Amino acid sequence: MKVLNFGSLNIDHVYNVDHLVQPGETIASDSLEVFLGGKGFNQSIALARAGCKVFHAGMIGKDGEQLIQVLNNEGVDTENIRVSDSKTGQAIIQVDKLGQNSIIIYGGANQDVKKEFIDHVLENFSEGDIILLQNEISNIDYIMEEAKKKDMHIMFNPSPIDENISLLPLKNVTWFILNELEGMSITGEKDNAKVAWSMLKMFPNAKIILTLGNRGALYVDKDESHSFGVYDIEIKDTTGAGDTFAGFFLASVIEGNSIPISLQRASVASALAISEKGASDSIPTKEKVELHNLILK
């Protein structure tokens, strides 16, 4: 079984501010830091550091070669990353003194994912393989349709959420991993306590992993449900926490662990991630997660 992450590759510009800027307001930033990121990049790093062999497919601009170098250094297969004439995707991230963030995404080369390129990538994958998707590249609908034809298992993180989500062939998704706001947008549910169950009602054959911020995470499918709380840890930067959770959860499941153990490992990993600055830079290794597992209990 192979794991393909067909996902975004960005360069993140992180501004540390006293508070998130309000409409019409101009504020000064205490610092500017530049990191490599994108939800696809972050999740591939998380998968690799969790011990999973992952193949990454995506697009960068000529200014994004460092993204390939870093992925290679982490052991990620980058043979299916191509260079576009567009600039590499960009993210403008504000991080306030409490560690909360606000993000603006510029798609750039991530929006140059064409059907011909998708066909070429998927030639090397087959029935039973897993494909991980986010909502930061073009032609997600086509990828889902073609992956389903091959009987691949689709894990979808519908972030960033937009009005086009409902147009995707979501019935093809095997695993949804999303937060409450994303779940509310898909289901139309107003009560966040009912989001996971509404998702399951809409997609009865899917497995739903719902992250709940400071209330932990919830897993439901047609046969079982599990929840897991959060760890009391100092927050420095929440950027990339969800990507860390997704990567470690999927890697743990692939390893053959139960859902409760996988939720626990993902929760420890995301707790460690928010205790450091940066998105991909803050993602812990499998060894660090195992070391801190007992400490954080």
Going by the annotation, the residues of the binding site for ATP are 179, 211-216, 242-243
DSSP, collapsed to helix, strand or coil, labels residue 41 as helix
Query: Tokens for 233?
Result: 């840890």
What is the torsion angle, in degrees rounded to the nearest 10, for the CA atoms of residue 254, residue 260, residue 265 and residue 270?
A: 110
Q: β-strands 130-134, 101-106: how paired?
A: unpaired
**Which residue numbers belong to the known binding site for substrate?**
10-12, 38-42, 136, 243
Query: Tokens for 243?
Result: 């990507």
Cα 17 to Cα 34, 42, 93, 101, distances in angstroms: 15, 23, 10, 10
Instruction: Read off φ and ψ for residue 239, nearest 5 degrees.
Output: -60, 130
**Which residue numbers belong to the known binding site for K(+)?**
237, 239, 273, 276, 278, 282
Q: Are the C-beta atoms of 7 and 132 separated by less than 8 Å?
A: yes
Return the bridge partners of 93, or none: 14, 103
Of 77, 112, 129, 243, the catalytic one is: 243
Is there a catalytic annotation at residue 243? yes
Instruction: Read off φ and ψ for residue 157, nearest 5 degrees.
Output: -110, 100
**Which residue numbers belong to the known binding site?**
10-12, 38-42, 136, 179, 211-216, 237, 239, 242-243, 273, 276, 278, 282
For the annotated catalytic residues, the residue numbers are: 243
